[in-house]
């Protein structure tokens, strides 16, 4: 019988380390899921980030026991179909993993009441402008998703893991720190548009801006169109 691959030996080392720590931060569920990895070359993981549950297949490169970080390659996202390199930190990104109930659902809450609850007047004004822009570009009425996301349109997803649910095609949220724009996932097309977008920060599934005066509205409209087309192509029959 061949010896266990090096990356799985590292997983075992991590589990042994965690068992020796008096008060491990990693939960029992996390350890149980890590134990499953020892017998699989390519694994399916789920984690909660940017208001959404993400599913992806990964190949493990190695695990850093001290930081509880898994380094992976050839990650294939079931949400978008994109491949990328990923680093999973068990302190944060594993939070909410393996939940059966979708975190984000469309509600009957009033979009206007939510915007009116925004304390910062400039951010409130930006939220109303975004509301007009998103409705104009998408042709969909605004709906509340969860407690704080204003979404437009929707699609139904079902992953190989068995998880399924609904999500908005695009959306935004006027949060206290910054305005979150829920647009298309990290891709070459998105990066080309962001070059002309203006002042922003980003994650894989979200773009953050301080105020609308910092960005090019025409580029924002292009990003919205791209996102709608992306998800409608990914889930054409849903």
Q: To the nearest whole number, what is the mean pLDDT of the chain? A: 70
pLDDT exceeds cutoff 50 at 150: yes
- Is it the case that residue 234 has pLDDT exceeding 50? yes
Q: How many CA atoms lie within 13 A of 212 on its CB side?
A: 19
Q: Where are the alpha helices (DSSP H) in 38-179?
A: 111-116, 121-138
Would the pTM count as exceeding 0.75? no
86-106 in b/e form (b: 16+ CB < 10 A) is bebebeebbeebbeeeeebee
User: Do the bridges between strand 179-182 and strand 201-202 make them parallel or antiparallel, or are there none, so unpaired?
Assistant: unpaired
What pLDDT does residue 73 have? 52
Q: How confident is the model at residue 70 (pLDDT cuts 50, 70, 90)?
A: low
In percent, how much of the chain has pLDDT > 70?
52
- The yes-or-no verdict on residue 156 having pLDDT over 90 is no
pLDDT band at 91 (very low <50, low <70, confident <90, very high): very low
Three-class DSSP category at 174: strand
Q: Residues 6 or more apart from 71 whose CB is under 8 A from it? A: 60, 61, 62, 63, 64, 87
Q: What is the mean pLDDT of residues 20-45?
A: 47
pLDDT band at residue 13 under the 50/70/90 scheme: low
CATH architecture of 111-234: Alpha-Beta Complex (3.90)
Average pLDDT over every residue of 158-175: 79
* 79 neighbors 57 (Cβ within 8 angstroms): no
Q: Are 122 and 115 in contact (CB under 8 A)?
A: no
Average pLDDT of the segment spanning 182-188: 75
Query: Which range is least confidently modeled, 8-12, 90-94, 189-193?
Result: 90-94
The angle subtended at Cα 59 by Cα 57 and Cα 64, nearest 5°, is: 115
Q: Quote the pLDDT of residue 14.
A: 52
Cα–Cα separations (whole angstroms), residue 131 to 72, 136, 183, 229: 38, 8, 14, 19
pLDDT given at position 7: 46
Determine the pLDDT at residue 134: 98
Structure-model confidence comparison of residues 62 and 89, the more confident one: 62
Higher pLDDT, 25 or 195: 195
pLDDT of residue 173: 92
Beta bridge partners of 152: 142, 170
* Per-residue pLDDT reduced to its tens digit, 94-113: 323 333 344 568 999 999 99
State residue 162's pLDDT score: 59
Please list the residue range(s) of the chain that carry CATH number 3.90.1150.
Answer: 111-234
Joined tokens for residue 193: 């548009």
- Please name which of 120, 116, 15 lies closest in space to residue 131, comparing C-alpha atoms: 116
pLDDT of 237 reads 62
What's the CA angle centered on 173, arms 171 and 176, to 5 degrees? 165
The pLDDT tens digits of the residues spanning 42-64 come to 555 554 445 555 555 555 555 44
Q: What would the two tokens of residue 137 be?
A: 């570009």
Top pLDDT among 132 and 236 is at 132
| Concatenated DSSP letters of 46-86 | EEEETTEEEEEEEEEEEEETTTTEEEEEEEEETTT--EEEE
């Amino acid at each position: 019988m061949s010896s266990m691959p090096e990356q799985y030996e590292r997983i075992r080392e991590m589990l042994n380390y965690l068992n020796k720590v008096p008060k491990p931060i990693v939960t029992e569920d996390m350890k149980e899921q890590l134990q499953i990895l020892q017998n699989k070359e390519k694994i399916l993981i789920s984690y909660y980030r940017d208001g959404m549950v993400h599913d992806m297949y990964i190949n493990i490169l190695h695990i850093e026991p001290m930081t509880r970080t898994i380094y992976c390659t050839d990650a294939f996202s079931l949400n978008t179909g994109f491949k990328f390199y990923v680093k999973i930190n068990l302190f944060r990104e594993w939070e909410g993993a393996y939940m059966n109930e979708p975190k984000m659902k469309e509600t009957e809450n009033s979009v206007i009441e939510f915007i009116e609850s925004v304390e910062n007047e400039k951010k409130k004004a930006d939220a109303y402008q975004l509301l007009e822009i998103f409705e104009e570009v998408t042709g969909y009425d605004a709906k509340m998703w969860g407690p704080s996301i204003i979404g437009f349109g929707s699609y139904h997803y079902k992953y190989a893991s068995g998880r399924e649910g609904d999500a908005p095609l695009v959306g935004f949220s006027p949060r206290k720190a910054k305005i979150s724009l829920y647009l298309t996932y990290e891709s070459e097309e998105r990066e080309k548009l962001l070059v002309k977008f203006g002042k922003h920060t980003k994650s894989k599934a979200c773009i953050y801006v301080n105020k609308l005066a910092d960005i090019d509205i025409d580029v924002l409209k292009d990003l919205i169109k791209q996102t709608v087309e992306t998800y409608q192509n990914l889930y054409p029959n849903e």
